[in-house]
Chains A and B, each alone.
Chain A
Amino acid sequence: MKIRTKLLLSAATSIGLVIVLGVVVFFSDRQVDEAIAKNQTASRIRERVSELNVLAAEYQENGGERTRTQWYLVRDDLAVLLAPDEFASMMENLETLETTFAQLVASREAQQVNGFEPSATHTPVEDRLVAQLSLRSQSITSEAVRLADATRADIAGLEERTTVLTLTFVGALLAIVIGTGVAVSLSIGNPIKRLTRAAEDMAKGNLNTRAESIGGKDEIGILGGAFNLMAARLKETIDSLEERVAERTVAAEELRLEITERKQAEEALKESEEKFRSMAETSPLSIYMSTGIEQTAHYINPRFVQLFGYTIEDVPTVGHWWPRAYPDEKYRQQIIDEWQDKVKRAIETKTPIEPMDVTVTCKDGSTKNVMWGFTSLGDTNFAFGLDITERKQAEEALRESERQVRRKLDAILSPEADIGALELADIIDSEKIQKLMNELYEVTHMGIGIIDLHGRVLVGTGWQEICTKFHRINPETCRLCIESDLELSRDVPVGTFKRYRCKNNMWDIATPIKVGDLHLGNIFLGQFLFDDETVDYETFRQQALRYGFDEQEYIAALDRSSRWSRKTVDAMMSFDASFAEIVGNLSYANVKLAGALEDRKRAEQQLKKFNKTLEQRVTERTAAAEERAQELARSNGELDDFTYVVSHDLKEPLRGIEAFSTFLAEDYADKLDEQGHKYVGVLRDSATRMNALIEDLLVLSRIGRTREEFATVSVESLLQDVRCNLAFALEDKKADLRIQPDLPTITCQPPHLKQVFDNLISNAIKFNDKPQPVVEIACHEDDGTYIFSVRDNGIGIDERYYEKIFQIFQRLGRREDYEGTGAGLTICKKIVEARGGKIWLESKVGQGSTFLFTIPKEVPRPQRAKEA
């Protein structure tokens, strides 16, 4: 709140208070005035009433018109005074007074009318009336007196109140004046004092000082806030100023350091430049220092000039370099594209380029293989060239040699490959033959050469000077030599030789080297003259002239060339021809052998591959077969489940038939005749039989469904159990059950095996017409399998039925003759087969039967025995 508002508010409060007090005093005064007026009225009323009394007494005494009139006048006056409502009771009394007076008047006048002289005698009536008048008057007077008393008390009270009010008013006025002063001093004076103190404090340099406790919202409060803000700003400014000064100081120090460092760096740079210069001057690399993408040269090192022959004047920019270094336009364009692309990137990214191999044409026309590198440092580009000509040549030579070896290898190792791809050099061992021939030459002084069809000399000894110095040197005579070689190499049968006078007029003799049917080269004995012929020097002189040989030297060389007798030459050539034949045959045999070896290797690999495929196929087939077997087992299992469920469902109505036919026989025995009883019997028998069939089906299905535990049991003890089971039947038929001793102990599902023996023995007894049936049980072992046999001396079975009897519910005998369902053998078959065995029989009608079945020692895989 602002100070002005505060002052206005306190003034308004004071004025309001004064007005209220004034109004109160004013109204108190008015009440006093009213009370005084009422008091005066009361006095006047009393005066008038006494006047009326006086006049009434006078009228009674004296009568008289004037007195009466006066009385009424005073009465009127009094009536005016008593007009206000508050005097109503006095007014009533006045009215009674008037009535009484009127009666008095009337009494007076009546006396006059009757002739009576008004006398001083008072009639009693008149006296009573006067008394009444007096009484009424007194009553008014007493009321007036009461009024006057009351007003007087009022006045006293009011005056006292007015005095109190006035005092209060003055007090209040004083209090407001003092209060406002104090408040103003408190809300303005104190903060200002604090502000002043803070300002003084700040003037002393204490920037952290703040005007405390000036939180008000008036001008002082705002002033305080502003002061504090100003102080804070001031502090901030000074702080930041100090900080900046500190920073400047640091910056100045850094600048000084930087200047020092820069100086050092400049010195280092100078030093490094000098080092670089000396390094560049002696570098084995060609260096081309330049600026910008146009690569304007400012330094080329001596190696560059030495390698290419170009100076900085020849190639001031890369633009001058290109046409000279790469004269072929197409090649140049290709190089420029790649180079400029790499250089641009190198300058942008300040990274070296991937080196580039090029062929540079030097100033003298020779070519050099150069590997170029490039890097950009600052504004300077460095192009470094490394001469790799020798390396390239070495590489090329190596590649060529590799190609040869590869070809040789390929030719030898691929039997189908055309032997025509073979070179003579690939087959013969030139080095060894050379050594051999050198030794021959030592003995005979007759040199030979082995030359392939391209004219390449693979082996050579005893070269004649005339050849090495003249004929093979001059291109024209050399051509003639090769022509002779080719001429000689044509159509010479193996083992024979051909003599030929070459176009340089010397003798050449050759015999071919053939590998297989292929002519790959020749053995030469060449450039000689026979000892019996005359040398035609003229011709040779002409040759010397024609080919620009030094005649003297040429003739001297001719004279030094060999002169052999025809016999020697023939003997030598025979030797060479045989040698060539042997070399050819041996080489061919080698090639063939290598081929054969390779063939065999291949065949072996093929065989291995084939075996592998076969194995894989077998595995696949086995897997497929196994899968099929599993599927079959599954499907059999499903069939077993089905049989089981159906059998059970069939039993339920069957039980009804059986039971209710029994009830029928029992409850209606007397109502059925003999035929009826017979029918009911048939019904019950049928039900019983059907039950037997179903039971067999259940047994059959259970073989596949239930997982009887495998166990290792002695067949002997198992058969003892069977014997017990069948004791009754055996006894009944007087049968003799003979069990072979030392029966094996086998792994099986005992209840199943027991069932097999039970069924077979039962059948053996059942289908037996002998007085003493004999059943023999035996076992022998064969190739991992036990073969059990149950032999009887019964009725025997025709071979036709060997298969049929194993089918379910197939019976051979009549039902009346032999009881049973015909499922027994089917059950046996199923059990034996589930165990991985077979069952069959040997029998002749009338000669008994032998049932045989096998049990493999090995437990079938899907249901291996549990470890006991």
Chain B
Amino acid sequence: MGVQLNAVSILLVEDNPNDVEITRRALEKGRVMNELIVARDGQEALDILFAAANGEARRPGLILLDLNLPKVDGREVLAKVKADPKLKRIPVVVLTVSTREEDIVRTYDLGVNTFISKPVGFEEFIKVVMTIKEYWLLIATLPPVE
């Protein structure tokens, strides 16, 4: 692809290794070449993000967040990210199996940028990834990474 992607890293917060694999592959298929950092639970995600906030690591440019996570729930991760002045500008895309209205409303209330239900079919998943890529990585001007 000749289009210059925003050269940010993507933080994937996902506990299910299959889903990690599926997502990784979908990103590859969608030719999203950005660096992918994987956090396997909410706590790990927060550790990575706050290390970045303190300047100890590179700050991810996009967060793909599952809601149902061990240790620290995805909703809580979202709330903390959006409450932190250094992290709140990172776009968060919630990727979850949930289609519950409560979840959708609640996560938007918490300041999520996009809410996407994980489709069952892989082909559809690739389409979702393409949408994310087009919007968040090609179209949107992401806040500068310090």
Binding site for B on A (CB under 8 A): 644, 648, 651-652, 654-656, 658-660, 662-663, 687-688, 691, 698, 706
Question: Is B22 in contact with A655, judged by CB distance below 8 angstroms?
Answer: yes
**Interface 9-mer from B46-54, B69-77, B97-105, B133-141:** B97-105
Nearest neighbor of B101 in chain A, beta-carbon distance = A706
What are 16 A-B pairs with beta-carbon distances under 8 A? A644-B100, A648-B98, A648-B99, A652-B19, A654-B120, A655-B18, A655-B118, A656-B18, A656-B19, A656-B22, A658-B120, A659-B18, A659-B25, A660-B18, A663-B25, A687-B120
Q: Name the distance in Å between A330's Cβ and chain B's nearest Cβ.
A: 90
Q: Name the distance in Å between A550's Cβ and chain B's nearest Cβ.
A: 121
Question: In whole angstroms, how far apart are the Cα atoms of A476 and B2 in the complex?
Answer: 151
Question: Is B121 in contact with A658, judged by CB distance below 8 angstroms?
Answer: yes
B125 within 8 Å of A (CB atoms): yes
Residues of chain B from 27 to 57 with CB closer than 8 A to chain A in the complex: none
Q: Name the distance in Å between B143's Cβ and chain A's nearest Cβ.
A: 32
Question: In whole angstroms, how far apart are the Cα atoms of A648 and B16 in the complex?
Answer: 15
Choose one: B25, B100, B120; the contact of A655 (CB below 8 Å). Answer: B120
The 6 closest A-B pairs by CB, nearest first: A691-B120, A659-B122, A662-B122, A659-B22, A656-B18, A655-B120
Question: In whole angstroms, how far apart are the Cα atoms of A651 and B120 in the complex?
Answer: 7
Nearest neighbor of B119 in chain A, beta-carbon distance = A655
Question: In whole angstroms, how far apart are the Cα atoms of A706 and B101 in the complex?
Answer: 8
Question: In whole angstroms, how far apart are the Cα atoms of A654 and B119 in the complex?
Answer: 10
Question: Is B121 in contact with A652, judged by CB distance below 8 angstroms?
Answer: no
Question: Is B122 in contact with A652, judged by CB distance below 8 angstroms?
Answer: no
Query: Which residues of the partner chain B approach A688 to less than 8 Å between Cβ atoms?
Result: 120-121
Query: Which residues of the partner chain B approach A655 to less than 8 Å between Cβ atoms?
Result: 18-19, 22, 97, 118-120, 125
Question: In whole angstroms, how far apart are the Cα atoms of A535 and B13 in the complex?
Answer: 143
Nearest neighbor of B26 in chain A, beta-carbon distance = A659
Give the B interface residue count (CB, 8 A): 18
Query: Which residues of the partner chain B approach A691 to less than 8 Å between Cβ atoms?
Result: 120-121
Nearest neighbor of A663 in chain B, beta-carbon distance = B25
Q: Name the distance in Å between A709's Cβ and chain B's nearest Cβ.
A: 12
Interface of A is mostly: helix
Q: Name the distance in Å between A702's Cβ and chain B's nearest Cβ.
A: 9
Q: Name the distance in Å between B2's Cβ and chain A's nearest Cβ.
A: 25
Given contacts A658-B121, A659-B125, 4 further A-B contacts (CB under 8 A): A648-B99, A655-B120, A687-B120, A688-B121
Query: Which residues of the partner chain A approach B25 to less than 8 Å between Cβ atoms?
Result: 659, 663
Question: In whole angstroms, how far apart are the Cα atoms of A651 and B118 in the complex?
Answer: 9
Binding site for A on B (CB under 8 A): 16, 18-19, 21-22, 25, 97-101, 118-123, 125
Question: Is B122 in contact with A658, judged by CB distance below 8 angstroms?
Answer: yes
Instruction: Known contacts A656-B18, A659-B18, A663-B25; decide if A651 and B121 are in contact (CB<8 Å).
Output: no
Question: In whole angstroms, how far apart are the Cα atoms of A656 and B21 in the complex?
Answer: 10
Q: Name the distance in Å between A660's Cβ and chain B's nearest Cβ.
A: 7
Question: In whole angstroms, how far apart are the Cα atoms of A651 and B100 in the complex?
Answer: 14
Question: In whole angstroms, how far apart are the Cα atoms of A662 and B25 in the complex?
Answer: 11
Question: In whole angstroms, how far apart are the Cα atoms of A691 and B18 in the complex?
Answer: 18
Query: Which residues of the partner chain B approach A687 to less than 8 Å between Cβ atoms?
Result: 120-121
Query: Which residues of the partner chain A approach B101 to less than 8 Å between Cβ atoms?
Result: 706
Question: In whole angstroms, how far apart are the Cα atoms of A116 and B143 in the complex?
Answer: 151
Instruction: Known contacts A656-B18, A660-B18, A663-B25; decide if A651 and B97 are in contact (CB<8 Å).
Output: yes
Question: In whole angstroms, how far apart are the Cα atoms of A644 and B101 in the complex?
Answer: 12
Nearest neighbor of A692 in chain B, beta-carbon distance = B120
Q: Name the distance in Å between A810's Cβ and chain B's nearest Cβ.
A: 24
Question: In whole angstroms, how far apart are the Cα atoms of A658 and B101 in the complex?
Answer: 26
Question: Is A652 in contact with B16, judged by CB distance below 8 angstroms?
Answer: yes
Question: In whole angstroms, how far apart are the Cα atoms of A644 and B99 in the complex?
Answer: 10
Question: In whole angstroms, how far apart are the Cα atoms of A687 and B97 in the complex?
Answer: 16
Query: Which residues of the partner chain A approach B97 to less than 8 Å between Cβ atoms?
Result: 648, 651-652, 655
Q: Name the distance in Å between A278's Cβ and chain B's nearest Cβ.
A: 101
Q: Name the distance in Å between A668's Cβ and chain B's nearest Cβ.
A: 14
Q: Name the distance in Å between A665's Cβ and chain B's nearest Cβ.
A: 10
Nearest neighbor of B120 in chain A, beta-carbon distance = A691
Query: Which residues of the partner chain B approach A659 to less than 8 Å between Cβ atoms?
Result: 18, 21-22, 25, 122, 125
Nearest neighbor of A706 in chain B, beta-carbon distance = B101
Query: Which residues of the partner chain A approach B122 to less than 8 Å between Cβ atoms?
Result: 658-659, 662-663
Q: Name the distance in Å between B20's Cβ and chain A's nearest Cβ.
A: 11
Q: Name the distance in Å between B64's Cβ and chain A's nearest Cβ.
A: 15
Question: In whole angstroms, how far apart are the Cα atoms of A659 and B18 in the complex?
Answer: 9
Question: In whole angstroms, how far apart are the Cα atoms of A715 and B120 in the complex?
Answer: 34
Nearest neighbor of B29 in chain A, beta-carbon distance = A666
Query: Which residues of the partner chain B approach A698 to less than 8 Å between Cβ atoms?
Result: 99
Question: In whole angstroms, how far apart are the Cα atoms of A430 and B99 in the complex?
Answer: 96
Query: Which residues of the partner chain A approach B18 to less than 8 Å between Cβ atoms?
Result: 655-656, 659-660
Query: Which residues of the partner chain A approach B121 to less than 8 Å between Cβ atoms?
Result: 658, 687-688, 691
Question: In whole angstroms, how far apart are the Cα atoms of A706 and B21 in the complex?
Answer: 34
Q: Name the distance in Å between A815's Cβ and chain B's nearest Cβ.
A: 19
Query: Which residues of the partner chain B approach A648 to less than 8 Å between Cβ atoms?
Result: 97-99
Question: In whole angstroms, how far apart are the Cα atoms of A659 and B25 in the complex?
Answer: 10
Q: Name the distance in Å between A811's Cβ and chain B's nearest Cβ.
A: 21
Query: Which residues of the partner chain A approach B21 to less than 8 Å between Cβ atoms?
Result: 659
Question: In whole angstroms, how far apart are the Cα atoms of A654 and B122 in the complex?
Answer: 11
Question: In whole angstroms, how far apart are the Cα atoms of A648 and B97 in the complex?
Answer: 7
Q: Name the distance in Å between A626's Cβ and chain B's nearest Cβ.
A: 28
Query: Which residues of the partner chain B approach A644 to less than 8 Å between Cβ atoms?
Result: 100
Query: Which residues of the partner chain B approach A658 to less than 8 Å between Cβ atoms?
Result: 120-122
Question: In whole angstroms, how far apart are the Cα atoms of A662 and B98 in the complex?
Answer: 23
Query: Which residues of the partner chain A approach B125 to less than 8 Å between Cβ atoms?
Result: 655, 659
Question: In whole angstroms, how far apart are the Cα atoms of A655 and B118 in the complex?
Answer: 9
Q: Name the distance in Å between A475's Cβ and chain B's nearest Cβ.
A: 107
Nearest neighbor of A662 in chain B, beta-carbon distance = B122
Q: Name the distance in Å between B98's Cβ and chain A's nearest Cβ.
A: 7
Nearest neighbor of B25 in chain A, beta-carbon distance = A663
Q: Name the distance in Å between B107's Cβ and chain A's nearest Cβ.
A: 16
Query: Which residues of the partner chain B approach A660 to less than 8 Å between Cβ atoms?
Result: 18
Question: In whole angstroms, how far apart are the Cα atoms of A577 and B120 in the complex?
Answer: 112
Q: Name the distance in Å between A650's Cβ and chain B's nearest Cβ.
A: 10
Query: Which residues of the partner chain B approach A656 to less than 8 Å between Cβ atoms?
Result: 18-19, 22
Question: In whole angstroms, how far apart are the Cα atoms of A659 and B122 in the complex?
Answer: 5
Q: Name the distance in Å between A755's Cβ and chain B's nearest Cβ.
A: 16
Question: In whole angstroms, how far apart are the Cα atoms of A658 and B123 in the complex?
Answer: 9
Question: In whole angstroms, how far apart are the Cα atoms of A688 and B21 in the complex?
Answer: 20
Query: Which residues of the partner chain A approach B22 to less than 8 Å between Cβ atoms?
Result: 655-656, 659
Question: In whole angstroms, how far apart are the Cα atoms of A720 and B25 in the complex?
Answer: 41
Question: In whole angstroms, how far apart are the Cα atoms of A4 and B125 in the complex?
Answer: 123
